[in-house]
Amino acid sequence: MANKNSHQDEDARQDTYPDLSDPSLFLNRELTWLAFNQRVLNEALDSRIPLLERVKFAAIAGSNLDEFFMKRIGGLKQQVGAGIHEETVDGRSPREQIDACYAFVREHHREREVLLEGLWTELAGVGIEITSYKKLDENEQALVRHDYYNNIFPLVTPQSIDPAHPFPFISNLSLNLLVTLRYPQEKATSLARVKLPISAGAPRFVQVIKQQRYVFLEDVMANNLDMLFPGMEILNCELFRVTRNANTSRNEEHADDLLALIESTLQDRKFSPIVRLQVHPDMDSVHRGRLAAELGLNEETDVFEVSGMMGMRDLWQLANLDLPKLKDPVHHPVDHPALESKRNIFHVIRDSRAILLQHPYESFSSSVERFLGEAAIDPKVRAIKMTLYRTSPQSPIVDTLIRAAQNGKQVAVVVELKARFDEEANIRLANRMEEAGIHATYGVVGLKTHCKLILVLRQDYKGLRRYVHIGTGNYHPVTARLYSDLGLFVYDKDIGQDATELFNYLTTGYTPKRNYNKLLPAPKHLKKALISKIEREITKHTKERPGRIIFKMNALEDPDICIALYRASIAGVRVDLIVRDSCRVRPGVQGISETMRVISIVGRFLEHARIYYFQNAGDEEFYIGSADAMRRNLEHRVEVVAPIESRQLRQDLLDMLEIQLSDQRSAWEMQSNGTYAQRQPDENGDARSSQEVQIEQAEKRFHDAKRLRSRKAKSFGKRNLR
C-alpha cells in the first residue's frame, strides 16, 4: 500500500511540475565559463595572495581566454558558417552566443587593463620593475641593444608586404610588428611584418643588466628596427596578435589510419581560420582595416583593442622568478598512511581492499607511480593495461611501461590521440611505446577515451588477481601536484572483471552487450544511471528523512541532468553542487530550485575531482571518476565512475565535501540570477580555504599514522624484552 501511495505522490508531482524546458532556467555554457575565468582573474586582485602567485593567476586567465577563442569561439564560428541556427537550451543561436561572449570579453579587457597597471605598480614596490626602453639611460640602452643583437636579432625574419610579396602567413598566438617605412627622400611608403621570436632564448620580458628590471621584447625590437631595415626611414610600428580556430577535426569513421588522420589534422590547425585579431587602440585605422580584411575578419566585431599587454600567458616568466618570499610556501605532498610501508604494494592493496588517494595533498609518485613501478619489476605481474589521456612529454610513467614490456610483461596502453593540444605529444609517446613492444591502441572510433584506469594482473598463490586504479585526473606527474584530484586503489573481484571488460571494449571497439557489475561507464550506462539515482532520491525523500544530492565536478552542462536536479529540488531534496566552471542551473529560483546551492572553488590548486553522492535514505552511495555532467562526456566519450564502498572512505569523502561546502575563503556562491559572489569569512570564522584545511588534514593523517606505528613498534619491543 505504501508503495502504491508513493507512486501516486510521484504522479501528483509530475502534474504540478512547471515547464522545466523554459530557457530562462538555463545559463549559457560559454558565458558561465567566461564568468569562471573572471573568478580566476580575480585571484590576481586578491591582496591575501602572495604577489607572484597573483601574477600566475593573471597568466592563467590570459591563457584560458586564448583557448576559449580557439575552441569555443572557433566552434561557434564554424556553426555560423555552416548556417546552423539551432538554439541552445538557454535559447541562444550560435550568432547570439558569439555576440554575448564578445560583449563579456570587451568588459573583461577593461578590467584586465586596470588589474595589470596595479600589478606593475606592486611589482615595482618589491623591486621588480617593468619599464619602457625609452626610460632606460644611454648605457642601459646600449647594453640591451648589444644583447638583443647577439641573442635575438639573428632569429628575426622581416617580411615585406607589397605587390611582389603577398600578405604573409600569421601563426597562431603570435605577436607581430606591423612596420611602416620608406626610402629617405621618397613619399611612397611600404609595410613589413616582423614576428616576435618568443622562445626560451628570446623571452617576452628582456632583463636589464642582471637587475629585476625588464623591458617588453616588442619594445626592444621596435626601438632597434634600424638593424632590420638599415638606411630606411621608420614611420610607424604597431603591435598585433592573432588567434586561430583549433577545431579542425576530420571524420574518423572512414579513416584507414587514425594516427595519420590526427597528424594531418594538426597540420590543418596551423592554417585554420583566424577568429580574433588583437590590436592597440591607437593603430592606424587603415592598417587595422587592412589587417582585418587580409585575415578574413569582420573589423567591427572580430577586432579587439588591448591597451596594455597582449598575450598575458607570457606573465609565466615573471611568475616563475625564484623569489620564494613572493610565493606560497612550497607544498610537499605526504605519503598516504597505508602506503608508507615498504611492503609489496599489491599486498597492501589486497589487505586494505580499497585505498582512497587525495592529490596533491597525498603524493602521486609514492602511490600511482610506485604502483606501476612495482608492477614493472614484480616477477608475478603478468600484464598491465592502462588508459593515457594526458601526461608529461618526458613522463616517467611511459619509461616505467617500457621497462615492464622489456621485463616480459604484457603491456597494453589505450592512448587518446585527440586530447586537445596534446595530440603531438601523445603521437610521439604512442610511437615510442610501440617501438618498445607495447600494444598501443587509440580507443573506439567516434569516442574520446577520457577514463583514467589502470589494471594490473598478478599471479598470486590463489591464481590470477586483478588490481585496479581508478582516477579523476590524468596520469600526469606535473599536474598531479597542481590539480586537486582523487584516486582509488581497489582489490575487488567485480571491479576487476568490469575493468577487464572495459579494456576489451577499448582495444577492440566491439559493442555487443557488455555487463558491468559495479563500474558505471559512459556512453552506455552512466547518464541513465545518474538520472535514475536522482529520481530514486526524489522517491525516497520524506520530511522525516530528507533526501540529499551532492555533485562535485568541473562542469554541469547536460540539460537532462539539469532538469533531473531541478525536479529533485522541487521535490524538496537538498541539492549541493560544487561546480568549478560552466554551470547551467540557477539555484534559489522560487518554486524551482529553492533547496539548491551552487558554489565554485578557485584556489591554489585547480579543482578537478568528480564526485557523485546520493543519500539514498541512509544507504549512502558515492561514486568518483573521470566524467563531468556534460553531454559530450556522457554521450561522446568513454568515461568511468566507480563506487566507494568502504564505510570509512565514504566518511572521508563526505568530510571532504562538507569542508568545501563550508569554505568561506575560496568559494564563490552562485546567486539566483546566475552571477557569483565571493564568500567572505566572518570576523570569528575560519579564514582558511578548504584547500588549506585539506593540506593540514593530510599532514595530520600522515603524522598520526606515523606516531601509531611508532607506539606499536615500542610496545612490540617491550614485549620481546619481557
Q: Which residues are tagged catalytic?
A: 450
Q: Which residues pair with 453 in a beta bridge?
A: 470
- What b/e readout covers 412-442, taking b as 16+ CB neighbours within 10 angstroms? bbbbbbbbeebbebbbebbeebeebebebbb
Measure the CA angle with vertex 592, ends 587 and 596; round to 5°. Answer: 35
- Residue 107 cell numbers, joined: 568588459
- Compute the CA torsion angle 274, 275, 279, 283 (nearest 10 deg): 70
- What b/e readout covers 467-476, taking b as 16+ CB neighbours within 10 angstroms? bbbbbbbbbb
- How many angstroms separate the Cα of 298 from the Cα of each of 101, 205, 291? 16, 32, 10
Alpha helices in 223-344 (DSSP H): 258-270, 285-294, 316-319
Alpha helices in 599-689 (DSSP H): 631-636, 647-661
Nearest Cα to Cα of residue 70 among 294, 279, 274, 249: 274
The conformation of residue 334, written as its DSSP 8-state character, comes to B
Q: Enumerate residues 6+ apart whose C-beta is below 8 A from 423.
A: 262, 265, 266, 417
Q: Is the dihedral of CA 695, 698, 704, 707 positive or negative?
A: negative
Phi-psi domain of 72 (left: phi exceeds 0; alpha: psi -120 through 50; beta: other):
alpha
Measure the CA angle with vertex 720, ends 715 and 722; round to 5°. Answer: 95
Nearest Cα to Cα of residue 642 among 355, 449, 412: 355
Nearest Cα to Cα of residue 20 among 563, 595, 571, 569: 563
Alpha helices in 295-391 (DSSP H): 316-319, 345-352, 370-377
- The Cα–Cα gap between 380 and 1 comes to 57
Burial class of residue 394 in the structure, from the number of CB atoms within 10 Å of its CB (0-12 exposed, 13-18 middle, 19+ buried): exposed
Q: Are strands 667-670 and 676-678 parallel, antiparallel or unpaired?
A: antiparallel
Single-letter amino acid, residue 413? V
- The Cα–Cα gap between 140 and 533 comes to 68
Q: Are strands 574-579 and 303-305 parallel, antiparallel or unpaired?
A: unpaired
What is the H or E stretch that residue 130 is in?
A: strand 129-131
- Residue 389 cell numbers, joined: 589521456
- The Cα–Cα gap between 377 and 384 comes to 12
